[in-house]
Amino acid sequence: MPKPTRRTFIHALATVTLAALANPGTIQAQTTVPSPSGPDTTTPTTAVGKRTVGMVLFEGFQCLDVFGPIEMLSMVRGQFTFVMLAEKTGPIRSSQGPVVIADRTLTDPGEIDILIVPGGMGTRREVNNPGLITTMKTLAVATPHVASVCTGSALLARTGLLDPKPATSNKRAYAWATSQGPAVAWVAEAHWVETGKYLTSSGIYAAMDMALGLIERLFDRETAEKAAQSAEYEWHSDAHPDPFAKLNGLVP
């Protein structure tokens, strides 16, 4: 199917408007117009309004922890907006070097529907940052869905909000991450774990699988599968098996 042009979009919109003027009682059944977006995204079968995703940033965050989930969520056309959050607005440097601009502060985030906490080498420092932990906890309590990626679970564990819930983390940094929340019911052999409104994923790429799992939770299985296909990504949809747990000696 050819991509709709601006001309076809305007023509369709005009047709809808004329139909409404001629018969206003039937406008609800005639408001389908071609989307100006390309074919690389999917429209969910159950849309409930756009959600805002707040991504926590700190010096030394992991790039894929941030942009992997953003990429997957953005495959669901028109359903998510993204805001970068940090203690202060401005440039924040990743572990890999690229800089990302924080739009808003953790104390003034606006309305957030989904909070995501990435990992990265910076987590080793930030677990001892009471200002970050306190403001992140306040925001997490007020947010309907909260997720962590990789060693971001160590930061989330420090808030106490995971006690005594099941959670997981990066298997290569598992001993350190789990030490940040001794009351958490850590699960070694899990790709990601969902407990109520909290989702925690294993290392780095697992964030994309978890993000697709969140899409399935918010919409349906078909929408998640279409999002993965749009990204040409092979979704590991089973949250439980994790080969990296064995590779890192965490399970027999």
Which of 138, 246, 143, 139 has the alpha carbon at shortest distance from 202?
Answer: 246
* Same domain assignment for residues 15 and 138: no
- 109 in a structural domain: yes
Boundaries of domain holding 6: 1-36
CA–CA gap between residue 2 and residue 181 (Å, rounded): 53
58 and 27 in a common domain: no
Structural domains counted in the chain: 2
Residue 35 has a pLDDT of 35
pLDDT score at 49: 76
Write down the pLDDT at residue 3: 45
Contact of 231 with 75, CB cutoff 8 Å:
yes
Round to whole Å and give the CA distance between 213 and 219.
10
d(CA 174, CA 200): 13
> Residue 56: exposed, middle, or buried by beta-carbon count in 10 A (0-12, 13-18, 19+)?
buried
Per-residue pLDDT tens listing for the chain (252 residues): 444 444 443 344 334 333 333 333 322 222 222 333 444 667 665 556 799 999 999 999 999 999 999 999 999 999 999 999 999 999 999 999 999 999 999 999 999 999 999 999 999 999 999 999 999 999 999 999 999 999 999 999 999 999 999 999 999 999 999 999 999 999 999 999 999 999 999 999 999 999 999 999 999 999 999 999 999 999 999 999 899 999 999 999
Same domain, 18 and 143: no
Same domain, 102 and 2: no
pLDDT at 42: 72
pLDDT tens figures, 136-181: 999 999 999 999 999 999 999 999 999 999 999 999 999 999 999 9
Q: Is residue 45 part of a domain?
A: no
Q: Are residues 8 and 123 in the same domain?
A: no
Tell whether 120 and 7 lie within a shared domain.
no
Q: Tell me which residue of 156, 154, 137, 149 sits closest to 200, measured CA to CA.
A: 149
Do 186 and 67 share a structural domain? Answer: yes
